[in-house]
């Protein structure tokens, strides 16, 4: 079992929560991005830098993640590709992407993108607060227990 982190947009405020879980359980974790992200030195952590360009990190993650792995991403189209492949995916705000919700989340994301493109909506999601940190930590721990029990 490995964890892949779509690191280009992974909030720094959640890194400590993730690393605590990784170190406690001894899980190899790969941070995937198109630029270097500072990580502490550990044999459990690796920084994988992909080529510049749209979706390069996504392509890498989909190619390498397996059914026994967990991917952390806020990218709903990426999560859709992973769920279709049978890979567990978790949003940094604590939503577990699965077959029961991914298509509706993708449809909502596409609608919001159309509204932003039309100028009807500006801005993005709010900052990560304490409620979202707790939701992420709870969902992460639940998924890790589920995966490690298999």
* Domain CATH code at residue 38: 3.40.50
What pLDDT, in 10s, does the model give residues 64-122? 999 999 999 999 999 999 999 999 999 999 999 999 999 988 888 778 787 878 888 77
Confidence (pLDDT) at 85: 96
Return d(Cα 136, Cα 25) in angstroms, integer. Answer: 17
Q: Rounded to an integer, what distance in angstroms lies between the CA atom of residue 64 and that of residue 96?
A: 20
Tokens of 61: 């993650």
3-state secondary structure of 33: strand
Q: Which residue has the higher pLDDT, 28 or 148?
A: 28
pTM: 0.90
Cα gap 67→3, rounded to integer Å: 11
Number of structural domains (the chain) is 1
Question: What pLDDT, in 10s, does the model give residues 120-147?
Answer: 877 767 789 999 999 999 999 999 998 8
Q: Where are the beta strands (DSSP E) in the chain?
A: 2-6, 28-33, 45-49, 70-72, 88-90, 96-97
- Give me the domain span that covers residue 73: 2-149
> 43-65, pLDDT tens digit by residue?
999 999 999 988 999 999 999 99
């Amino acid at each position: 079992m490995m964890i892949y982190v779509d690191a280009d947009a992974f909030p720094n405020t959640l890194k400590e929560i993730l690393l605590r879980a990784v170190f406690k359980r001894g899980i190899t974790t790969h941070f995937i991005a198109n630029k270097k992200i500072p990580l502490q030195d550990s044999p459990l952590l690796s920084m994988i830098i992909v080529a510049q360009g749209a979706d390069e990190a996504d392509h890498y993650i989909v190619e390498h993640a397996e059914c026994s792995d967990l991917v952390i991403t806020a990218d709903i189209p990426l999560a859709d590709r992973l769920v279709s492949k049978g890979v567990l995916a978790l949003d940094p705000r604590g939503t577990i992407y699965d077959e029961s919700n991914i298509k509706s989340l993708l449809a909502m994301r596409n609608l919001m993108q159309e509204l932003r493109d039309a100028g009807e909506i500006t801005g993005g999601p709010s900052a990560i607060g304490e409620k979202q940190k707790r939701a992420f930590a709870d969902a992460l721990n639940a998924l890790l227990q589920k995966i490690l029990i298999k």
